[in-house]
Structures are given as C-alpha cells and as structure tokens.
Amino acid sequence: MAHDVFTNGRSNIHKGSGDKAVAGAPDVCKTPIGSAVVPIPYPNISQSSTLKKGSLSVKINGKPACLEKSTFDSSSGDQAGRLGGIISGTTGKETRFISSSFDVQIEGQNAVRHADATTHNHGNTMGVVYGSSTAPSVIKKNEKPCKDDSDHDWEEVDSGQSPDDQVSKLEADIDHLEGKPSRVSQKRGYEFEKKAVIDNKNKLPIDKCSKEYRCKKCKINQEVDIVGGDRVAEAKSRKSKGVKKKSGQCKRLKGIQTQLFDPGKKPLAKIDGELGDVQNSKEIYERRGFEVEIVG
C-alpha cells in the first residue's frame, strides 16, 4: 500500500501499510542438531499486518496506527532455532519499538515511523522498521483526473521487495489469518500469491515483488505483484466473476507494461488452476491483452 500519512518526514506505520521490521543483527537461537544444541544466527522479520495494541479511534487508511507501546505480534525466519534465543529464550516472538516521534502523539502515545528502532524475538536482537521517507505527491490545481485507466502516465514510486522477503511477508499474513473462517478467501489469495512468486522464481529472474507505481497526472497508484524478465505479472486467485470486475486494473497494468517495460511483451496473468471456472478467467484475461499462465 502507498504511504500517504507522514510524521517528521517519515511515513507512519499502520496495520495496513504493508511495512516490515527487519533485525539488523543476527537472531542467534539454540538449534538442535542431532544430539547437540548449537547457537545459530538467523534472520528475523515481522510484519505490520500483525500489529497489536494500535490506535483505537484514530485510523490511517482505515487501519490502526502503530504507537510506541504497540507490537508486531509475531516474527519469522528463526523457526529452526526452536530451543529459543540465547538472550530471550524464545523463537518467533513479537517486535517492539524503542524509538518513535519526539513531538507527534496519537491517543497520548508517540507515533511510530519509518526507520524507528525495534527489538525482535522479544529482546533477542535489534533492528529497524521500514516504511517510506518519500512524501506523497500532491495534485496541482490545474491537474485533472485521467478520464480513463488507459490515459495514465506512470512512474515508479516504491521499489518493492525481494522475492524471499515477499514470501516471508505472505507466510506471516497467512499465519495471521489461520483459523479465521471469515477470511478464508483472503487467506487463499495470499497462499496463491506465495505459490505464484515461488513458481516464477523457479522459471525466470524476479527483480521485485509488490512494486508501486503512480500516475504523474492524476496520482492514482497501482501495485504490481511481480516484476521480472522486462514484464509485469499479476497473481490472481479469483473466480471469473471477480476477474470481470478488474477491467480497470488490467488497463493500468497494460499501461505500466507498455510505458516502463518492453512494449512488445504482454503483461502476464498467473491464475489459480484449482478454481473451478479457470478457463473463463483465462479467456477474460486473454481478451484484455494478457498472456495467461495457469498455476495449479
């Protein structure tokens, strides 16, 4: 998601911001290897989607804001060290925040921003939460919204993240939705996107995942799931009824492909082969000028 609320020149972290906290030093955990126990350094990453103790009445893009006493409820990367961190004695535990805004408060607590310091797994190592330091563009008075989704003039505004980081993020999102019946379709979407990223990674180089683009004229944003091989790719786990509603998104992706990548290539739609009406979805994407790959 794009960042459009800033504190002290840095983006505010919130539950829907798609941000992550990354340990800057190894998360050294005791790991059983045969009959031995070995301290092994691991990465540790946590996601803003697991935010707990966020703001109650103040929302950013409809989601709770991250405050100085908030936590990212779980972390990943150190699961193999199941006997616990050498300091904390835990594995996969929460991330907390040890720096925050010096002069901006939300509900009586300091706001957490891009580049604030963190402690991970709890207390076993330290790191930083990453958002954005680039303030959003503002539509000038003489600028008008584009009349159609094929009229946009695109530029990159967020460089995205590596395939491995994207898989870790999706795994955390999937774990967060486990056991929530009302979120089954969303969980399936995350599971398929993870599958699509791994599938693409095995077939061709992926430059980035979840890259963000913005129209220079009307400032609309469009996220692209996968960028690689001089083309854009979208991962979709939707029945054809849902795909039909994405005509505007398809036009935006085609525009990004034509303007910023190889105009001789079609954008790629990777669709879920386990859905019953996958052929209908395939035909819809092909009519809209996409190359289609069924992942099943």
- Mean pLDDT (10-residue bins), the chain, 296 residues: 79 92 95 96 95 93 93 95 96 96 93 95 95 60 67 85 83 83 80 82 74 85 84 82 83 93 91 84 92 86
Largest CA distance in the chain: 71
**Residue 145 within a domain:** no
Q: What is the pTM of this model?
A: 0.51
**Residue 138 within a domain:** no
In whole angstroms, what is the distance from residue 29 CA to residue 38 CA? 8
Structure token digits, residue 102: 């010096």
Residue 275 sits in the same domain as residue 206:
yes
- CA–CA distances in Å: residue 147 to residues 78, 191, 250, 260: 49, 35, 16, 21
Structure token digits, residue 190: 């995350």
pLDDT of residue 179: 83
Residue 187 sits in the same domain as residue 114:
no
pLDDT of residue 146: 81
**Residue 148 within a domain:** no
216: left (phi over 0), alpha (psi -120 to 50) or beta: alpha
List strands edge to edge, sheet with 51-52: 45-47, 20-23, 125-130, 117-120, 95-97, 71-72, 51-52
pLDDT of residue 59: 92
Residue 260 sits in the same domain as residue 166:
yes
**Residue 141 within a domain:** no
**Residue 159 within a domain:** yes
Structure token digits, residue 58: 């103040």
In whole angstroms, what is the distance from residue 104 CA to residue 95 CA? 21
pLDDT of residue 173: 80
In whole angstroms, what is the distance from residue 129 CA to residue 12 CA? 11
**Residue 136 within a domain:** no
Residue 23 sits in the same domain as residue 68:
yes
Residue 126 sits in the same domain as residue 182:
no
Residue 123 sits in the same domain as residue 177:
no
Residue 60 sits in the same domain as residue 158:
no
| Total domains in the fold of the chain | 2
Residue 31 sits in the same domain as residue 118:
yes
Residue 164 sits in the same domain as residue 228:
yes
> Which of 89, 115, 130 lies at the terminal end of a domain, its last residue?
130
In whole angstroms, what is the distance from residue 214 CA to residue 156 CA? 6
Look up the domain containing 20 and give its range.
6-130
**Residue 147 within a domain:** no
List strands edge to edge, sheet with 154-158: 154-158, 208-215, 221-228, 231-236, 268-272, 291-295
Residue 255 sits in the same domain as residue 166:
yes
In whole angstroms, what is the distance from residue 251 CA to residue 257 CA? 10
